[in-house]
Amino acid sequence: MSQLGFIGLGIMGSPMALHLVKAGHKVHVTTRSKVPQELLDAGAVACDSAQDVAARADVVFMMLPDTPDVEKVLFGAKGVAAGLAKGKTVVDMSSIDPIATRGFAKQIVALGCDYLDAPVSGGEVGAKAASLTIMVGGEPESFERIKPLFQLMGKNITLVGAAGDGQVCKVANQIIVALNIAAVGEALVFASKAGADPARVREALMGGFASSRILEVHGERMIKRTFNPGFRIGLHQKDLNLALQGARTLGVALPQTANAAQLMQSCVALGHGQADHSALVKALENMAQHKVMPDAAS
């Protein structure tokens, strides 16, 4: 049994931490809100602060919303850094700025500890099913040591490169996902506006070259109008902003990413920032003044 820590117990973090507990590890946890009762019932130990978690655990996992959150948890008052001792490992599974991540890694390594950035893809469904894709940046020796723990939370686990490269990979993932959601949304709005049954159009497309996981899962959400968050628009918008910030730094153009970011901004303006990112279709529907399918309450 290992002494583990997990900080950040939201939609993703809670089921991820639960997998570690159920595998027999002692998991010390803290979060901004109340620790879920399910975790406590399974044997997780609630702590008062991130410092307390780091002092008790040999490996500290974090799953937080954004770059400033990670910085505060790591280096703020009663933060992780204050509780670390030499030889411990910090694993950030949040999706944040790659450049900032490299700076965080240097500071943690200077304390005699190891640091891995390990953002994930797969949403709430993947977190609950322990089928997440995990993209890791850091030293190979640290990765191999932590990999058995990653395997309790995910299936496709890849060491991408050095510190920060996991976050680079996640940003690339979010670009692809956003553009695919926009493409599926445009196709279904077009089909519905033209008078075809969007459900049957989707079914037909699933058997052809246009088939994708996005068409399968999010296309179904668009048709059934089920936009409860697996991954919120507000968080995906944050990830696209990271991509565009990185593009400015690197001097590259990401025109389709910029367009998807604007669609998500439109959704936020329409009040859908807390909805699942498949609700990006609502921005397209607003422009077309036509819904793929009527909402259940309509």
Considering the candidates 88, 170, 238, 291, report the single residue annotated as catalytic.
170
What is the signed CA dihedral for 33, 39, 45, 47, rounded to 10 degrees? -10
- Residue 81's alpha-carbon distances to 8, 137, 176, in angstroms, are 16, 19, 34
Token pair recorded at residue 218: 């999010």
Q: Which residues does residue 269 pair with via DSSP β-bridges, in sequence order?
A: none
Instruction: Tell me, rounded to whole angstroms, the distance of Cα 13 from its chain centroid.
Output: 10
Residue of 97, 90, 56 whose CA lies nearest to 73: 90
225 contacts 296 by C-beta, under 8 angstroms? yes
Determine whether 72 is an active site residue. Answer: no
Q: Per residue in 40-54, is it b (16+ CB within 10 Å) or e — as a string?
A: eeeebbebebbbbbb
Distance CA 120, CA 157 (A): 9
Active site residues: 170
